[in-house]
Amino acid sequence: MPATLQSKRHRVEDTADLIEFCFQQGWSDGLPVVPPTEDRVRAMLAAAKLAPDQQVGYIDHRAVSITAEKVAINAVMAGCKPEYMPVVIAAVEAIADPKWGYHGPGTSTGGAAVLMIVNGPIARELDINSGDNLFGPGWRSNLTIGRAVRLVMRNVCGSLPGLLDRGTVGNPGKLSYVIAENETESPWTPLHVERGFRPEQSAVTIVAANGPHQFYNQLSNTAEGVLTTLADDMRISGGVMGQPTYVVVLAGEHMKTIANDGWDKKRIRQFLFDHTKNTHAHLKRTGRMSGAIKPGDETATRPLVETPEDILVVAAGGRAGAFSAYIPGWGSRRSSEAVTKEIKR
């Protein structure tokens, strides 16, 4: 006998529009949702092999317990297939991790989205896009997994826009912001392996993040050339002073150019760290660092991130085109760290 579901039940007349009913309850992010019926919710729970009352995460300062049942209901509404549930569960575990620090990115005027980078075999099995149109539409898994997590934040954790989600301008990634690393074509160590997992494990890494910034270099055929453009683009970006995590997404052409020079992710990180420092004088002149310009400010520098390891390098994006992207994290790394969780099946 399956455990009883505890959620309040709403009885809706057959003549009523169920999708419209969900809008009226305030359950939606603004797009139509799939009505959460018991059979659909149970299929989600079965796919994750979780009892409904299993606690997936606890948001301490909001005293909110996130149960598997609530994650399943929101995953149904987001349009997930049941087999996506293990990814959603791992991502919800991650947002509840104190290192991610829900209070900041969940609430801040800085308008963080939850960037999710999926690694390991599950990314291929679920067809999570790691190629063309990486941050764009077209892939159900990318769009619904991230949406499910945001609906949990909205409906369970209370991150309602204008109330406890106070993003000043927000960003479109707050609807869904999921990518996979292109491990099949990448010449580099996958992100989850760098972060302590085995290649055959699946994992999701979450970063409190601003929107993606695309950059262009069609002229260089060296690693240094491509990364010089990237560093110049990154140098003044995001909060600049906050020293958050950064994610660098290198797509097909750039990935090959950089790899052909023999550069690994560690060397990429170090180069970007070394070439994204700003002088104190520049930061003061442009209203980012407080105080008057003092002797020495023209040569004193502030790194964009605290350490090279705060730049996560991911191989993803289409094969054609001399474009790649970087993503400034929200706030500071001290307020919110990238968190990686195993996707358990």
Partner 1 sequence: MTELLDPTTGAATQTIAFVPRPQALAGKRIALIENTKYNSDKLLERIGELLKSEYGAADARLWRKKNASVPAHQEIIEEVRKTCDVMVAGIGD
Binding site for partner 1 (CB under 8 A): 5, 7-14, 18, 21-22, 25, 27, 35-38, 41, 61-67, 69-70, 73-74, 77, 101, 103-104, 108, 151, 155-156, 158, 290, 331-332, 334-336
Q: Which residue has the tokens 């300062």?
A: 61
SS3 of 261, please? coil
> How near is the Cβ of 262 to partner 1 at its closest, in Å?
39
Q: Which residue has the tokens 């180069």?
A: 271
Q: Which token pair is 237?
A: 């970006």
> How near is the Cβ of 118 to partner 1 at its closest, in Å?
24
How many whole angstroms separate alpha carbon 287 and alpha carbon 293?
11
Residue nearer to partner 1 on the CB measure, 155 or 205? 155
Q: 274 φ, ψ to 5°?
A: -70, -25
* 204 DSSP assignment: E
Q: Spell out the residues 6+ positions from residue 21 whose beta carbon is closer than 8 angstroms to its own.
A: 10, 12, 35
Residue nearer to partner 1 on the CB measure, 272 or 304? 304
> How near is the Cβ of 179 to partner 1 at its closest, in Å?
25
Residue nearer to partner 1 on the CB measure, 109 or 133? 109
> How near is the Cβ of 137 to partner 1 at its closest, in Å?
24
Residue nearer to partner 1 on the CB measure, 74 or 202? 74
Q: Which token pair is 213?
A: 């910034």
> How near is the Cβ of 331 to partner 1 at its closest, in Å?
5
> How near is the Cβ of 15 to partner 1 at its closest, in Å?
10
- Residues 32, 19 contacting (CB under 8 angstroms): yes
Residue nearer to partner 1 on the CB measure, 37 or 260? 37
Residue nearer to partner 1 on the CB measure, 202 or 332? 332
| Distance from chain centroid for Cα 217 | 25
How many whole angstroms separate alpha carbon 264 and alpha carbon 79?
38
Among the listed residues 190, 191, 250, the one whose alpha carbon sits nearest the alpha carbon of residue 226: 250
> How near is the Cβ of 88 to partner 1 at its closest, in Å?
13
How many whole angstroms separate alpha carbon 264 and alpha carbon 271?
11
Q: Which token pair is 2?
A: 């399956």
Residue nearer to partner 1 on the CB measure, 64 or 300? 64
How many whole angstroms separate alpha carbon 243 and alpha carbon 48?
36
Residues in the chain: 345
